[in-house]
Amino acid sequence: MSPLLMYQLVALMLLAIGLYGIVWRKSFVGMLISVELMLNGAGLSIVAASQLTEAGNSIGQIAALFIMGLAAAEATLVLAIIVVVARRFKSVETDAVSRLKG
Amino acid sequence: MMELLAKIAFAVYAILILGGGTIAVGAHSLVRALVGLICSLLGVAGMYMLMAAPFMAFMQILIYVGAVCVLIFFAIMLSQADAQGIESGTRRPGKAALSALTFIAPVFVIGFILVKFQPASISLPVEVPLITIGKGLLEDYPVAFELISVVLLAAMGGAVLLAFEKKGRKV
């Protein structure tokens, strides 16, 4: 088994665990945690693909840095949305927040 | 082939990542789930070290463990989650089957493709000097670099706008 394949399998497991969590979780915070797991899997996979093959090394790390920046922006926005939803619905359960009215 | 020590380190990090991830999606208490997420992120940082990318490991700890996890902790605190955890309640029927399917499907499909078409891999990764990454960010991809800054600024401005409580008006 090549080293690249081992890293890719770990990244794939991170993606699958994140997908499982995003369906299984009932609250927005739990879903946010799952999304972070999936983004980490993506970063790990990209860095592994650039470090362990003949492709350019720096571009993989730059792409992973972009992923980290996007994750930070996404977490900020989701935090604000959770605050607004918790204030308006008094709950962050996805089942309670199923009313689509302005 | 990897050295024996590197293999042991890889196994330790893999256990840390997968165990932490399992806790992160399975724990009833959201704070425990956050601790699992931190374990998982630290394991990923260790794997970056193993791949001769120490700068990425540093940024992983700085941004994810330092910033994003604190943000998630704020989200847990501000969402007034009760002590028992809303995750422990009953779920709609069929949700367990659906989530099991979302776990199994990518593992089998992508895993099969990965194992079937194994990409060629070099055994010893080389470390990229930091100056190359900096040059790549500022000379080769300056537009993407600026755009990510604008996205961060817009997200933070939007977050402040969303969470800002207006006086006299029911939100």
Give the number of other Cβ atoms within 10 Å of residue B138's Cβ: 11
How would DSSP label each residue in B2-35? Answer: --HHHHHHHHHHHHHHHHHHHHHHH-SSHHHHHH
Tens digits of residue pLDDT in B92-149 = 788 888 999 999 999 999 999 988 888 788 878 888 888 989 998 899 899 999 999 9
State residue B169's pLDDT score.
57
Q: Given CB atoms, is A67 within the 8 Å cutoff of chain B?
A: no
Q: Report the distance separating Cα A41 and Cα A8, nearest Å.
A: 9
What average pLDDT does this structure show over B158-170?
A: 75
Q: What residue ranges of chain A have pLDDT lower than 50?
A: none
Q: Given CB atoms, is A7 within the 8 Å cutoff of chain B?
A: yes
Q: Worst-scoring range by mean pLDDT, B12-16, B33-37, B126-130? A: B126-130
State residue B17's pLDDT score.
95
Burial annotation B89-105 (CB, 10 A radius, 16+ → b, else e): eeeeeeeeeebeebbee
Q: Report the distance separating Cα B98 and Cα B103, nearest Å.
A: 9
Report the candidate in A31, A21, A39, A95 with the shortest Cα–Cα distance to residue B76.
A31
State residue B13's pLDDT score.
95
* Chain A residues near residue B38 by CB distance under 8 angstroms: none
Q: Global pTM?
A: 0.89
Q: Which of residues 5-64 of B touch A (CB under 8 A)?
A: 10, 14, 17-18, 21-22, 24-25, 30, 33-34, 37, 40-41, 44, 47-48, 51-53, 55-56, 59-60, 63-64
Q: Given CB atoms, is A96 within the 8 Å cutoff of chain B?
A: no
